[in-house]
Structure 1
Amino acid sequence: MCTGKCSLCIAVTLYPLAIISIICNIVLFFPGGEVKYAKDGHITEEVKYMGGLIGGGVMVLIPALHIHLTGKQGCCGNRCGMFLSIAFAAVGVLGALYSFVVAVLGLQNGPLCKILLIWTTPFKDRENNYLTDNSMWGFCTEPKDIVQFHVGLFGTLLATSCLQLILCAAQVINGLFGCLCGTCNKRPTVI
């Protein structure tokens, strides 16, 4: 496959992943679909790090745009474009890594929720893991179904960041081939 066509495929795949990351991070600010928790500051700490918005979103979306332009019309125009795609893809790798780390921390520490009258992170630093023992999920009384909400969205961020990481790393390799081996522009034959 031509390095330019490969770039185009990677970019087109990165777009929806970046949008999913942004949406997940925004939705995490509104547990139970309510604004009051964000307004009162009862948001899980890892949500405030904005791994999905900044890392998996903006830091992947901007490289995706450049990678898309590099692969436009099936083949890249020059080696310089492929070299720049390596740099942009490296930024995408960093963004995906940031999103991945924040998602892992979010899943590991669990949600901020109300237990009786106290707002706390009840699953943080516990011996038994709340992810494998859903009987512990009932500890949280407010917001409603916060553990499912939290696990679902941070799990989605984890999956999208893994895919983004793989795709951006593949573009680094693809860009390296395009830079070293040249482009696949077909020269017209003279008769």
Structure 2
Amino acid sequence: MCSIGFVRSLGFALLPLAVCCIVANVLLFFPGGEIQYVQQERLSRLVWFMMGIGGGGALMFLPAGVFISLGKCTGRCWNESFMMCGLVMAALVGLAGSGYCFVISVMAMLEGPQCNNAQGWSYPFANQGGRYLFEQETWSKCFHPISIVEWNVTLLSILLGLSGLEFIICFLQVINGLVTAVCRPCCYKQDYTLNA
């Protein structure tokens, strides 16, 4: 199989992205490095969906492991077909995980953080369609946690970027698998004609 090196490199690219997603999601639980908001359950509700830990993180280890452990091709058609099917299935799992991380991060970004403001603990930026992202002067509405809007926007932006890259990598493998599945019979047919 011609694309072994390419598939393995995709697997190695997924590993640091998955680890960074996990770290970014864990940091969302500790605004400003403080633990009290987790204990008081004052975090944004969407943080508990663990999009970076589960979707962009742990779930990415499956396709990364499958891509990296890709063995040498034995030359038998059924082995190659089975291997490509497994690679495409692993890539589809990766697409689902990265897609989940991306969608939940977008939703969390649009909703804004839960914070202590003039109305008490609430979501002051909810139902604004994300307009607050472009109106930084409104971020001071949140008294506690300190700089929670900046904290959330930064980490959610990181999650969006990382999950977007993971999605592209897994999509490339799906395309690679489909192209290989279509082109391999042509290669065998041409090989057969040359040998005859």
- State if a TM-score over 0.5 links the two structures: yes
Equivalent residue for 1:142? 144
Equivalent residue for 1:41? 41
Equivalent residue for 2:91? 89
Cα 1:125–1:104 change in 2 (3 A) is same
Q: How does 1:41-60 map to 2 (within 5 A)?
A: 41-60=41-60
Q: Where has structure 1 moved over 6 Å in runs of 4 or more?
A: none
**Separation (CA, whole Å) in 2 of partners of 1:148 and 1:128:** 14
Equivalent residue for 2:117? 115
Gaps of 5+ in 1: 185-191
Work out which structure has the larger RCO, using CA pairs closer than 8 Å and 6 or more positions apart in sequence.
Answer: 1
**Separation (CA, whole Å) in 2 of partners of 1:164 and 1:152:** 18
Equivalent residue for 1:10? 10
**Separation (CA, whole Å) in 1 of partners of 2:132 and 2:138:** 6
Cα deviation code 1:1-57 (max 9, x no counterpart): 931111011111111111111111111011111111001100111100011111101
TM-score (ref. length: structure 1): 0.88
Equivalent residue for 1:176? 178
Q: 1:138 is aligned with what amino acid?
A: S
1:124 to 78, 103, 126: 126
Q: 2:16 is aligned with what amino acid?
A: P
**Separation (CA, whole Å) in 1 of partners of 2:35 and 2:135:** 29
**Separation (CA, whole Å) in 1 of partners of 2:54 and 2:107:** 16
More helix by share: 2
**Separation (CA, whole Å) in 2 of partners of 1:150 and 1:138:** 14
Shift in Å, 1:182: 4.1
User: For the Cα contact (< 8 Å) 1:79–1:182, is it kept in 2?
Assistant: no
Gaps of 5+ in 2: 75-79, 188-196
Matched residues, percent identical?
35
Q: Would you say how many aligned residue pairs link Structure 1 and Structure 2?
A: 181
User: For the Cα contact (< 8 Å) 1:79–1:178, is it kept in 2?
Assistant: no
Equivalent residue for 1:188? none
**Separation (CA, whole Å) in 1 of partners of 2:90 and 2:130:** 41
User: For the Cα contact (< 8 Å) 2:98–2:167, is it kept in 1?
Assistant: yes
Cα deviation code 1:62-97 (max 9, x no counterpart): 111111112x5xx55533222101001000000011
**Separation (CA, whole Å) in 2 of partners of 1:22 and 1:116:** 33
Cα 1:76–1:175 change in 2 (3 A) is farther
**Separation (CA, whole Å) in 1 of partners of 2:129 and 2:180:** 49
Q: 2:98 is aligned with what amino acid?
A: A
